[in-house]
Structure 1
Amino acid sequence: MPDLQRRRRALQLGFFALFLLAPALDLLRFDLHEAQLWFLGQRWTLGIDAFRAGQIDATQVALSILLKAIVPAVLTVAGFLYVAYRWGRLYCGWLCPHFSLVETLNGLLLRASGRLSIWDRERVPGPPPQRIYWLAFGGTALFFGFVWSITLLTYLLPPREIWGGLLSFKMTPNQTRFLLIAWGLISAELLFARHLFCRFGCAVGFFQSLAWMANPKGLVVSFARPRAAECRDCEPGPDSCEHACPMRLRPRNIKRLMFSCVQCGQCLEACSGSHAARGQQPNLEWTVGVDALRETLKQRRGG
């Protein structure tokens, strides 16, 4: 399982870097000045300008729109939802840049206060909090709030213009307003509502969860209920399955109560480590297909 988490972290870091660098490399951005989409280093045109100039006819521009806009969009959405239907919110748990920040801030806040959210009333059992981590927690949220606001602006305007204006203190009033407002909102979300946003505010995650819930054979964390008594011997703390989930879910719950599960596997890692120390098999495991269907049926029967 540790190897699984290392691979997941590597994917998260790689996708986070891609998210930050994509506009600068013209991999994906929309230039508001030119009303031009850039994709994989190329101008992505639908032929409308050529049609207006009389270079192509109506049939050709309609075919271009179909092949370059409608078909790719439909295939992308369908493929994305198919993955979610089969395996759940893999994008959230394995790629999403925001969720990687959620996990990072969770760890810092846990060290600072013994809690995974500032709204928690009870502390997680474990080492005493260290106040110095409050600076790390707040500084990380503010820093990445700023980085995200700049990055979002480069998806809409030429990155050279934005970074040049920032370094020379010559950004336009509208750019400055966008930067400050976005910085404030993103930082506040990371500080106070990151879990709530992931669970209820993110449309990407919400539709993945809907697709996953519609499939009784989809990948799910299964709990060996006949061996539930073994869980009484688990030591409570940040490394237990009850506190391992970065989405604040209880992994031994039934699927309909795990709507926001991102399939990160951290609860499985915690369960495996706890039971291995006592020479036992873990009570949590991933199941898919027929085994997942059996788990769903058992949940419906209450057993």
Structure 2
Amino acid sequence: MTRIARFMNLVEIQYPVSGREPARDYNRAKKFINGELFFQNPTMLNDPFEAQPLLDTIKLLDINDEELLLIFKRVHAFARGISLAQAETELKKRVAAQADVKYVDMLRHQLPKLYFDEMRQRMSQFGVCCFVQATSHDSDSYEKLMWSLYASGVSGIRVEFDSDELAKSLAPESDDEASEKFELAVAKREIDYVNDRPRISAFDFFKRLGESHTTDLQKQTFTEFILKPHLFTKSMDWCREKEFRIVVEDAASKLVRFDLSSIKKITFGSRCDLTLRKILIEAFSETVELYDIGLCSESYELKETPLKAQ
């Protein structure tokens, strides 16, 4: 069982225009108790380099015209859902309507645009939910950092999940229509931290895609050239977060239903809102391990204490 944790702030403070006391909205907490997690649009994540790999077009300039036309024929057949013979017929008509050199040159410059169009379309559809890889050492420095960045200091909560159970509960039930799609409904993995930005070869992407004759090969191609470099790779500067992500199709900026049984542990920050604390204890005391996080009196460490031991 792989444990992952999400640091959350489930209380929204609404500041009035006048000098009245700010109001506290617990709608986020109610949605969480109802089994809903928010999946962010990748373009709204806090890393400015998110989903921004570099595109390498060198190979497109080096390949000969015959190989370029073969790749485009395969991609055209894939995109249109037609046979290679039909794609070749359409391609010949286009070539005949223009000078060969002019048309091939246009294709050479069109493939990078096609990759970016494909990437942008998918990035607008995928929803991302970010976690950290859970640890049994509650004093780890990165956990203190996560409390500060993503749980409003220690005013929020830390929720620990079984990653497999959570991901499985997010996946839609398969049907005939869904089985024909090659996209991944749910993808999950830890982040790869690298020193250099990923560099994607448009030539390699379309060559591999054109040669992917099975659903599994198509999934592997999109994982390698779109999902992994765009959504599961970050700068080494972020490595202390030990991030784990779950990505769901058609979930950008949406709430997604999940199974509450995938929650294994909830830890309350030392400044957690008392009403929120009461709401969550009432909802999960019978099914989930509940803890408080406190400040160690003699060091900079955080200390967890089971609720029942208090």
* TM above 0.5: no
* TM-score, scaled relative to structure 2: 0.24
* TM-score, scaled relative to structure 1: 0.25
Q: Identify, as 1 or 2, the structure richer in strand.
A: 2
Q: Identify, as 1 or 2, the structure richer in helix.
A: 1
Q: Relative contact order, CA 8 A, sep 6+: which one is greater?
A: 2
Rg (Cα) greater in structure:
2
